Amino acid sequence: MNSTLPAPISVIFGMSCLVLPLGRSLYVRKYELKYRMLNDHSETSGGAQALAPVATVVRIVEQAFVNPNLEDGMAGRLDGKVAIVTGAGSGIGRATAVAYAAEGARVVLAELVAERGETVAADIRSAGGTASALTVDVTDSARVETLVAQTVELYGTVDVLVHSAANVPLVNDHDARLTELDDDIWHRIINLFLTGTYHVCKHAGRQMITQRSGSIVLVSTTDALVGVAGLDAYTAAKGGVTALTRSFAAGMAPDNVRVNAICPSFVSSEPQQAWLADATSHDTIDRLHLLPIATPEDIAPMAVYLGADESRVVTGSVFPIDSGYTAFKAKLDVISAMRVQS
Ligand SMILES: NC(=O)c1ccc[n+]([C@@H]2O[C@H](COP(=O)([O-])OP(=O)(O)OC[C@H]3O[C@@H](n4cnc5c(N)ncnc54)[C@H](O)[C@@H]3O)[C@@H](O)[C@H]2O)c1
């Protein structure tokens, strides 16, 4: 067999060697420009409008040349998808944003605390992924609407929404039995966890309807499945999120949009570190689980699955990812207790 390539193939191969690296370099430079402009304009939808020509050039260059996420040429499970991750500066949101980028998604990190989102976005870009951080308060409907518009301006679509925004200290330190609950705490918890979910589902959902495709992944909690004393406002909010997962999934299915929820139990995210470091508290929580307490990185793979096309027949489902928390009656020897010798 003749190993010499025919002349036209050699020419095409040679040009590819020159053009693909050039294209990638051009892409990266355009992306950096786009990212700087985005941050300069992130507080107004007018900024997104101003980005339109740059974003168009970037998309053309990207489509024409290479995907910078996939240095090794392997296809990612989320290759080509655009994902918004709320609360992406910490915990489950951070781990999910990183996992999404590693699987080839272009990620918009929607975070209340700007420097948190920017730090995670910079880490993703340093690793060769594509990410932009936007400062967003999910309790502000107009800001969430602008977030969706900016994402479309940047990357063309919103294929996945992962909603993980949370104020864990507000819950841990201030939630209570209803009879002792401060009215203001009730309203703040419902506003963030339930109304915030309404805002992100509404605006991302509207975009997904126009695309006739999309996947929404809501981070709920096992507290919506098994009662726990003293967390009534949080449980009410997350119970709403969990029930909403089913009704919204039913409503969105005709438009080819899926909606699912993940229910973690205890997760060792940043705000949980204080009690995890306390031996007594740690032991109490540990006794509620069959397996080790989850890290945020243990939750992210389920969010990847639900965002990817491999879960295309999964909707309206609620998944406990909980180290066995909902599967058993705590670490008690129930059977021995029942077999008391008389
Ligand atoms: N950590 C747990 O033990 C645990 C258990 C079950 C469920 N959950 C759920 O998982 C999700 C993530 O929890 P986590 O522990 O990873 O939280 P986290 O505190 O580590 O991260 C939440 C992020 O959301 C951001 N945020 C707060 N308010 C916001 C707002 N209004 N708009 C946008 N961003 C905002 C915070 O700045 C923070 O970076 C939450 O929905 C939480 O209820 C957590």
Report which of residues 314 and 328 the model is more confident about.
Answer: 314
Residue 158 resides in a domain? yes
Give me ligand 1 centre to Cα 341, in Å: 49
> pLDDT tens for residues 80-90?
999 999 999 99
Mean pLDDT of 17-26: 40
**Catalytic-role residue among 35, 100, 198, 234:** 234
Hey, whose CA ends up nearest to atom 15 of ligand 1? 269
Give the three-state DSSP class for 155: helix
Are 107 and 101 a contacting pair, CB within 8 Å? yes
Tokens of 259: 């909606």
Residues 207, 311 within the same domain? yes
The answer to whether residue 246 is domain-embedded is: yes
Are the CB atoms for 105 and 82 separated by under 8 Å? yes
Ligand 1 centroid to residue 167 C-alpha, Å: 6
Is the domain of 325 the same as that of 183? yes
In CATH, what number is assigned to the domain containing residue 202? 3.40.50.720
Indicate if ligand 1 lies below 6 Å from the C-beta of 90.
yes
The response to whether residue 168 sits with its C-beta less than 6 Å from ligand 1 reads yes
Q: Write the DSSP string, 45-88.
A: HHHHHHHHHHHHHHHHHHHHS--TT-TT-PPPTTTT-EEEEETT
Ligand 1 midpoint to CA 258 (Å): 22
Q: Considering its fold, how many domains does the chain have in total?
A: 2
In this structure, the answer to whether residues 57 and 97 fall within a common structural domain is no
Ligand 1 and 139: CB distance under 6 A:
yes
Residue 129 has pLDDT above 70, yes or no: yes
Q: Is the CB of 297 under 6 A from ligand 1?
A: no
Give pLDDT tens digits for 285-294: 999 999 999 9
Q: Is 197 in the pocket of ligand 1 (CB under 6 A)?
A: no
Per-residue model confidence as pLDDT tens digits over 88-116: 999 999 999 999 999 999 999 999 999 99
60 or 235, which is more confident: 235
Computed over every residue of the chain, the mean pLDDT equals 84
Residue 193 reports pLDDT greater than 90: yes
The answer to whether residue 233 is domain-embedded is: yes
Task: Assess whether pLDDT exceeds 50 at residue 217.
Answer: yes
- Position 339 in a domain: no
Sheet strands side by side (includes 160-163): 130-135, 106-111, 82-86, 160-163, 214-219, 257-264, 318-321
Alpha-carbon distance of 342 to 231, in angstroms, equals: 40
Q: Is 3 within the bounds of a domain?
A: no
**Same domain? 326 vs 297:** yes
Shared domain for 58 and 103, answered yes or no, is: no
Quick one: pLDDT band at residue 332, thresholds 50, 70, 90?
Answer: confident
Is the per-residue pLDDT at 26 higher than 90? no
Residues 59, 103 share a domain: no
pLDDT of residue 27 exceeding 60, the answer is: no
Residues 308 and 225 in one domain: yes
In a domain, 341, yes or no: no
Range of the domain at 309: 77-332
CA of 53 to the centre of ligand 1 (A): 35
Position 337 in a domain = no
Q: At what angle do helices 141-155 and 7-41 cross, to 10 degrees?
A: 160
Residue 61 shares a structural domain with residue 85: no
How do residues 254-277 score in pLDDT, each as one tens digit?
Answer: 999 999 999 999 999 999 998 899
Helices vs. strands in the chain: H and E counts, helices first: 13, 7
234 is known as an active-site residue: yes
Best probe residue, ligand 1, of 42, 112, 161 (max atoms within 8 Å of C-beta): 112
For ligand 1, atom 30, the nearest C-alpha belongs to: 137
Query: Which of the two residues, 1 and 91, has the higher pLDDT score?
Result: 91
